[in-house]
Structure 1
Amino acid sequence: MRPVDLAREHGLSTQAVRNYEDAGILPAAGRTPSGYRVYTPLHARALRAFLSLVPGHGHQTATSIMQAVNRGATEDALRIVDESHARLLDDRRTLEAVEAALHDLAPVPQERGDTINGDIFIGPLARRLGLRPATLRKWENAGLVRPRRDPRTGYRVYGADDVRDVRLAHQLRRGGYLLEQIAPLIAQVRSAGGVAPLESALGDWQARLSARGRAMLRGAADLDAYLRTRDP
């Protein structure tokens, strides 16, 4: 098979196929006496496996999997696959945590001296959430939270709504949302006076996790086919 034969099946350029070989995603190709690359059905299965792995695992992880297989380190490849599945499971658990936060936004525990008239200082709030005060200041600059200033000390203090916004932002960041994605959601929560606007975002998040899981299944099938061809 020529590079163009592999490329055409997947809508790739011949240069992309050569780049995949150079990166170790495909096994090394044979050469004709004149120096042209010659590919085989093994290369076709390798390319199919890689392209099938990318949607579920991402380009970098899929590359690492194929590189491990092609250097004969199948156990390393399987470990990378397992770690990627573990990250998906962590993401599912994070989603569950966000959903729980939306339905049960418990107050942040407070200690004596933490509050002024029921509002909590930035330091104690950050400490109880396992964050740095600098992170809360960054979120403030991004419009996620809007703490007021204590007129006597000038310190940032957070009321109940502010704490709600911080906790939601914290959970969504753990779920992989960018600050610019979180800001409009928090703004909607403020304007609506509750967390209902986040429900559609959580539905989209769940759909993306499900799609990723299905893509991992397809990738596993094509990777197994390649492994059986390579090591019958």
Structure 2
Amino acid sequence: MDNLRPSDLAREHGLSTQAVRNYEQDGFLPPAARTDSGYRIYTALHAAALDAYLALVRAYGHAVGGRIMTAIHEGELDTALVIIDRGHQQSLQDRDTLDSVRRAVRHLTAEAGDAAAPAAGAQDRTIGELAHRLGVTAATLRKWERAGILVPARESGTGYRRYTANDVRDAELAHLLRRGGYPLERIATVVDQVRAAGGTDSLARALDEWSARLTERGLAMLDAAGRLGHYLRMREG
């Protein structure tokens, strides 16, 4: 491919020429050579880098996509691969949580009368233990409680929160929907429906929407992997 101008790269992806320059400045693209008059000279390598970066953004978001490309251009390929691996790990965790919530909903629907009863032998958790399980802060759990999503019991005397198996289920559901971009008010309504084991249509729709997002994200990851692999092969050449 002949030398390219910033506008050539920008036009193909519907970007502004300034955006392309910013991506280079931020380390998302390799440094461009300059003409004697100071104009940037882009090549097929830069076009492949931009293609890979935008695909990573679709799969992992702007921040993570930028970190991956920056690591590559700093010679830290292993770091970039670890970031990618963590993204796949999070996607798998989301799918596992989605499956557990679906099972909980099926159980609630089948056992509407007894759904609120804790599982036999289940051990209560502290706020710290539940926060660690979900990978959130205790402050987040308290915020969910204020929103009516969680209603933990309190120990007599100490006032410490104790989370039963059903509280953990509600927290997992809230965490899943929160990652899907749902507002706290809507999550509180969905969790109420789970507790009541009735009127689960909106819950089913929410889970279907999130399942579709996970599928879309998984396909975007595959696409990004192919485009990034192409760029890395060009760099090696």
Residues 109-147 of structure 1 show CA distances to partners (whole Å, capped at 9, x for unaligned) of: 689xxxxxxxxxxxx966399448976653343133578
Q: For 1:156 and 1:76, locate their aligned partners in 2 and report how far apart those are by CA, in whole Å.
A: 41
Gaps of 5+ in 2: 109-114, 132-137
Residues 159-194 of structure 1 show CA distances to partners (whole Å, capped at 9, x for unaligned) of: xxx995x45531223315142330232355578735
* Alpha carbons of structure 1 residues 148 and 32: separation in structure 2 relative to 1, 3 Å: closer
Q: For 2:89 and 2:153, locate their aligned partners in 1 and report how far apart those are by CA, in whole Å.
A: 40
| Stretch of structure 1 that moved more, 93-102 or 7-16 | 93-102
Q: Which residue of 2 aligns with 1:217?
A: 222
| Stretch of structure 1 that moved more, 176-185 or 221-230 | 176-185
* Alpha carbons of structure 1 residues 220 and 137: separation in structure 2 relative to 1, 3 Å: closer
Q: For 1:69 and 1:75, locate their aligned partners in 2 and report how far apart those are by CA, in whole Å.
A: 8
Q: Which residue of 2 aligns with 1:114?
A: none
Q: Which amino acid aligns with 1:170?
A: A
Gaps of 5+ in 1: 112-123
Contact 2:145 2:151 survives alignment (8 Å)? yes
Tell me how far 1:51 sits from its aligned partner: 0.5
Q: For 2:67 and 2:153, locate their aligned partners in 1 and report how far apart those are by CA, in whole Å.
A: 48
Q: Which residue of 2 aligns with 1:15?
A: 18
Q: Which amino acid aligns with 1:108?
A: P
Q: For 2:30 and 2:15, locate their aligned partners in 1 and report how far apart those are by CA, in whole Å.
A: 18
What CA RMSD, in Å, does the superposition of the two structures yield over aligned residues? Answer: 3.4
Q: Which residue of 2 aligns with 1:227?
A: 232
Q: Which residue of 1 aligns with 2:63?
A: 60
Match of 2:28 among 25, 29, 33: 25
Contact 1:169 1:182 survives alignment (8 Å)? no
Match of 1:180 among 185, 204, 211: 185
Q: Which residue of 2 aligns with 1:127?
A: 126
Q: Which has the larger radius of gyration?
A: 1
Q: Which residue of 2 aligns with 1:90?
A: 93
Contact 1:3 1:37 survives alignment (8 Å)? yes
TM-score of the aligned structures, taking structure 1 as reference length:
0.76
* Alpha carbons of structure 1 residues 135 and 37: separation in structure 2 relative to 1, 3 Å: closer
* Alpha carbons of structure 1 residues 140 and 86: separation in structure 2 relative to 1, 3 Å: closer
Match of 1:40 among 43, 62, 70: 43
| Stretch of structure 1 that moved more, 53-62 or 40-49 | 53-62
Q: For 1:80 and 1:2, locate their aligned partners in 2 and report how far apart those are by CA, in whole Å.
A: 31
Contact 1:109 1:128 survives alignment (8 Å)? no
Contact 2:174 2:191 survives alignment (8 Å)? no
* Alpha carbons of structure 1 residues 195 and 225: separation in structure 2 relative to 1, 3 Å: same
